[in-house]
Amino acid sequence: MGFLGLLVHSGGGWVIWLLVLASVLTLAVIVERALVQRRERRAFEAVRGDLRAALNDGDLRRAADLANGSTTVAAVILSAGLARPSAGPSSVEERLAAARIDGRYQLERRLWVLGTLGNNAPFVGLFGTVLGVIRAFADLAGNAGAGPEVVMAGLSEALVATAVGLLVAIPAVMAYNYFMKRAGEYLADTDALSRLLLAVLKEKK
């Protein structure tokens, strides 16, 4: 009860600082993922046209050279399928699927941080508000002769925690949805080339 009493009467100030640290973490993840996905997209666009042309021509050797010459997630996925085209479409399809799982992990890495903060920051802010309200009424009880301004000042401080929680959550949710959408589009473009590769192998079989 001693710990609970200390927690209840601590107010919401420490919660606000916790949310400020969460906002710094959110910004760091957003910047890092933006740079990674932008680099991936630009590098992929540089070779996508040549890869598609090579596959349309049925030139698997040239397609493999192009894929092996790039370090993008898409190129790594296609390289897995082009490593042993003689194994047949079924085997190549499984290799592509396995490489796609690894590639998706690379594209969505650290996005769980944005999802977690986006979902929980408002509740953390609300927790800080509740603590602030409790402390405000405790201060009023300890100053029976004081006016309502004692409570109003405490309540205004308490509500800051909820505002900061929303300030952290909204950008986190928006960034999470954006990066997930971009990762999905990137993988869809890669899947199109993968299906084209499988079609070429089935035609050659």
Residue 22 lies in a domain: yes
SS (H, E, C) 71-128: CCHHHHHHHHHHCCHHHCHHHHHHHHHHHHHHHHHHHCCCHHHHHHHHHHHHHHHHHH
Per residue in 44-101, pLDDT (tens digit) is 999 899 999 999 988 899 999 999 988 899 999 999 999 888 888 899 999 999 999 9
Residue 31 lies in a domain: yes
Residue 1 lies in a domain: no
Domains: count for the chain: 1
Per residue in 121-168, pLDDT (tens digit) is 999 989 888 888 877 777 666 666 555 666 676 677 778 888 999 999
For residue 24, pLDDT over 60 is answered with: yes
Q: By the 8 A CB rule, do 143 and 122 touch?
A: no
Residue 129's pLDDT is what? 85
User: Could you say which DSSP state residue 132 is in?
Assistant: H
Count CB neighbours of 156 within 10 A: 11
Q: Token match 């499988």: residue? A: 198
Q: Quote the domain boundaries for residue 182.
A: 10-204
Question: Rounded mean pLDDT of the chain?
Answer: 87
Q: Token match 């409790």: residue? A: 134
Residue 4 lies in a domain: no
Residue 88's pLDDT is what? 85
